[in-house]
Amino acid sequence: MSSFRKVNYSLRPAKHAQRRMVSELLGCLYPFKAVRDYQYIGFGSLWFEDFRLFHKLLGFKKMVSIERSEAKDRFLHNKPFKAINLLFGDSGAKLPEIDWAKESIVWLDFDSPLSLETLRDVQLISASCKSGSCLAITLKVDEAAEILEAAKAQEEIEHAIAQFTSRFKDYYGGKVFSDDLRGNPFRQVCEEIVDAAVEQKIALRNTEKEGDDVFEFRRICRFSYSDATPMLTVLYVFYTRGDQGKFDECSFDTVDFLPNMDHEVKIQMPVMTLKEIREIEEQLPTDNIDALDAGYVPTSDVKKFVSIYRYLPNFSVLET
């Protein structure tokens, strides 16, 4: 089933905040090239939310949305800008058609767990992208797909462990236990596997390179959030050693929500009324959260709100 039939991407506040945070990080790429001149490749779905936001905030003029749905006419009808080129088919089949000679920003925004197909996409981009390019990958990380497969086949958890170990043995050398396939441990395993997939392809890419032509990659940050299901997004930047100075100039760690490189950004939604939001917003920004007059809002929710309020959507209520 196409994901647009399962998820309304316009009604996910944590996802909205994440898109705005990612947009702020992408704006740091200007030492490599004017950000508006990058090409953006993503999965727009029926709502094209990331395409709308990035076109308006960052000015992308060349955007490619890969859709595996057969409802082509409906996607074309909902395409918000003529700058978007739609490619219909699986990402594994369509990514090779991209012109990788251009600086690219790619967001593989999956709503499914880690799979070998996912890693093939990651490795194709790692092997092909130009210096200064950026890759974000989003995965569902509540539990491994192998657990669901085992449950459907009425198999024990040991079957799921064996399947997972067999599938990802080329990327994960550690012993897998049942606790590793759910929750936070599974998220960490996914991070390690995606890292290994990128590292392998960069090492292969560098086989015949030397000096300034050698490719590097850095993991910029990790986002974790849940609008209903725990999700993980990892952001990488690729560059040659000759472009090390440009990478340093990006200064990603000067962005408000990123105190240091590779920081885990946890997007946690506070439980607050519109009135409470307005009252606290009137006191922001501040360097002293403890001094805020937050009324009856618990301190934990105040801290969550202050950490992400600039990136949240504007809420309003229409009553009849």
Q: Which two tokens stand for residue 205?
A: 């890419």
Distance, in Å, from the CA atom of 320 to the CA atom of 317, rounded to the nearest integer, reads 10
Distance, in Å, from the CA atom of 11 to the CA atom of 135, rounded to the nearest integer, reads 24
Q: Give percent of the chain with pLDDT exceeding 70.
A: 95
Q: What is the pLDDT of residue 312?
A: 87
- Indicate if the pLDDT at residue 157 is higher than 60: yes
Output the CA angle 128-116-234, nearest 5 degrees.
65
The mean pLDDT of 15-32, rounded to a whole number, is 96
The mean pLDDT of 194-216, rounded to a whole number, is 97
Can you count the helices (H) and strands (E) in the chain?
11, 8
Please give the sequence-ordered ranges of beta strands (E in DSSP) within the chain, or none if there are none: 39-42, 62-67, 84-88, 104-109, 134-140, 215-226, 230-240, 263-267
Burial of 135 (0-12, 13-18, 19+ CB in 10 A): buried
Band (pLDDT 50/70/90 cuts) for residue 154 is very high
The mean pLDDT of 67-77, rounded to a whole number, is 92
The type of residue at 166 is S
Measured between alpha carbons, how far is residue 233 from residues 22, 108, 180, 272, 289 in Å? 10, 9, 18, 26, 28
User: For 92-112, what is each residue's pLDDT tens digit?
Assistant: 999 999 999 999 999 999 999
User: For 238-266, what is each residue's pLDDT tens digit?
Assistant: 999 999 999 999 999 999 999 899 999 99
Distance, in Å, from the CA atom of 206 to the CA atom of 257, rounded to the nearest integer, reads 33
Q: What is the pLDDT of residue 9?
A: 46
Q: What is the pLDDT of residue 255?
A: 94
Radius of gyration of the chain (CA): 21
| pTM for this entry | 0.92
